[in-house]
């Protein structure tokens, strides 16, 4: 796989939020088809990394660069990134009163199709697509006609994120603690939805605090983030080791290996 151009290449990335330095030199290469897990204790910078990649305006990149398929990702607006194929499954999906989930999903899908020069889907075709994907994530169809995430349970919000991902079919999916707050059955269903998207042309960055999710979404590489740096990288067995030993032994020693 090494001969393929990287899907994502992060070089010496530093970023801060609210004037506080959070990412302090991240280097990472994700190739097409690979699933990378980003683990680490609370406050290590996992969510900041996902927000930098999606383009959240409140996070400021202070140094370094990010290339998406060889192009400067940081120069793009959040919507351009989405249209180029980056998807962030939010850790805290936002509730938006007054805008129906189906209206939003259709607008988002068609904005992306239009960008790719594909014909926009009409109401019938869209409904057919969304119904099929809702079955995949076992989501109640009633939620389609409700306002975006409004009054959704924690699990319903996460299902809605994965539903959007299966509809938008991104090339790089970033899952930010999609497992948090889920019971084991919901976790299994959502992992099924995510796994259905695995393909040689699609990469994923799975951010999680717990190894549990990685039993279902099996990664090619596991990285450990601590105080804004990747302090250890390895195969899927690294996640199991972390599960056994916790994060303490990594924070204590140096041992950063890069990606």
Partner 1 sequence: MSVLDSARDHWLARHAAWAPTRAGEPAWLTALRREALDAFAASGLPHTRLEEWRHTNVAPIARVPFELSARGASPVSREALEAVSFPVYACSFAAFVDGHYRAELSSPRALAGGVRVLALTELLAREPERLAAELGRLVDAKRHPFAALATAFLDDGAALLVPRGVELAQPVHVVFASSGTQPDRVQHPRVLVVAEPRSRVQVIVDHVDLHPARGFTNAVIEVYVGQGAAVDLVLVQREADSVYHVSNFAARVDHDAQLSLHTLSLGGALVRSDASLLLAEEGARCRVHGLFAGSGQQLLDQHTLIDHAMPHGESRQLTKGILTGSARGVFRGRVIVRPGAQRTDAEQSNPNLLLSETAEIDSKPQLEIHADDVKCRHGASIGRLDEGALFYLRARGLEERAAREMLTRGFASELLDALPVPALGTALASLLGARLWGAAPGDAP
Q: How far apart are the first and last CA of the chain?
A: 15
- By CB under 8 A, what part of segment 60-79 binds partner 1? 77-79
Report if residue 117 touches partner 1, rule: CB under 8 A: no
* Per-residue binder mask for partner 1 (CB under 8 A), 126-155, x = binder: ---------------------x--------
Report if residue 193 touches partner 1, rule: CB under 8 A: no
Of 53, 45, 89, 92, the C-alpha closest to 229 is: 45
Torsion of CA 150, 152, 158, 162, to 10 degrees: -70
Q: How many residues bind partner 1, per CB under 8 A?
A: 34
C-alpha 102/C-alpha 126 separation (Å) is 9
C-alpha 143/C-alpha 146 separation (Å) is 5
Task: Say if residues 40 and 226 touch (Cβ distance below 8 Å).
Answer: yes
Backbone φ and ψ of 228, nearest 5°: 80, 10
Report if residue 108 touches partner 1, rule: CB under 8 A: yes
**Of 112, 160, 203, 208, which lies in the binding site for partner 1, with binding defined by CB under 8 A?**
112
The stretch among 82-90, 137-145, 203-211, 222-230 that binds partner 1 (CB under 8 A) is: 82-90
Report if residue 8 touches partner 1, rule: CB under 8 A: no
CB of 114 to partner 1, least distance (A): 7
Of 140, 8, 21, 19, the C-alpha closest to 70 is: 8
- Summarize as ranges the residues that interact with partner 1 (CB under 8 A): 54-58, 77-79, 81-83, 87-88, 90, 93-94, 96-99, 103-104, 106-108, 110-112, 114-115, 120, 147, 164, 168
């Amino acid at each position: 796989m090494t001969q393929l151009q990287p899907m994502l290449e992060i070089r010496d990335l530093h970023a801060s939020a609210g004037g506080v330095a959070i990412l302090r030199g991240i280097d990472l290469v994700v190739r097409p088809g690979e699933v990378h897990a980003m683990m680490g204790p609370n406050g290590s910078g996992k969510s900041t990394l996902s927000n930098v990649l999606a383009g959240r305006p409140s996070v400021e990149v202070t140094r370094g660069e990010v290339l998406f398929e060889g192009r400067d990702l940081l120069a793009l607006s959040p919507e351009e990134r989405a249209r180029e194929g980056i998807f962030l499954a939010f850790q805290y999906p936002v509730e938006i009163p007054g805008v129906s989930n189906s209206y939003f999903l259709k607008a988002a899908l068609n904005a992306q199709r239009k960008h790719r020069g594909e014909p926009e889907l009409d109401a019938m075709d869209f409904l057919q697509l969304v119904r099929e994907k809702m079955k995949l994530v076992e989501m109640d169809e009633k939620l389609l006609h409700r306002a975006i995430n409004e009054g959704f349970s924690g699990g319903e919000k996460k299902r809605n994120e994965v539903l959007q991902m299966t509809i938008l079919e991104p090339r790089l999916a970033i899952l930010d603690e999609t497992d948090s707050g889920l019971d084991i059955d919901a976790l299994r269903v959502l992992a099924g939805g995510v796994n259905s998207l695995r393909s040689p042309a699609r990469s994923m960055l799975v951010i999680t605090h717990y190894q549990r999710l990685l039993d279902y979404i099996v990664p090619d590489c596991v990285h450990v983030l601590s105080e804004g740096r990747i302090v250890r990288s390895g195969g899927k067995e690294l996640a199991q080791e972390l599960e056994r030993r916790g994060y303490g032994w990594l924070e204590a020693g140096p041992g950063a290996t890069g990606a």
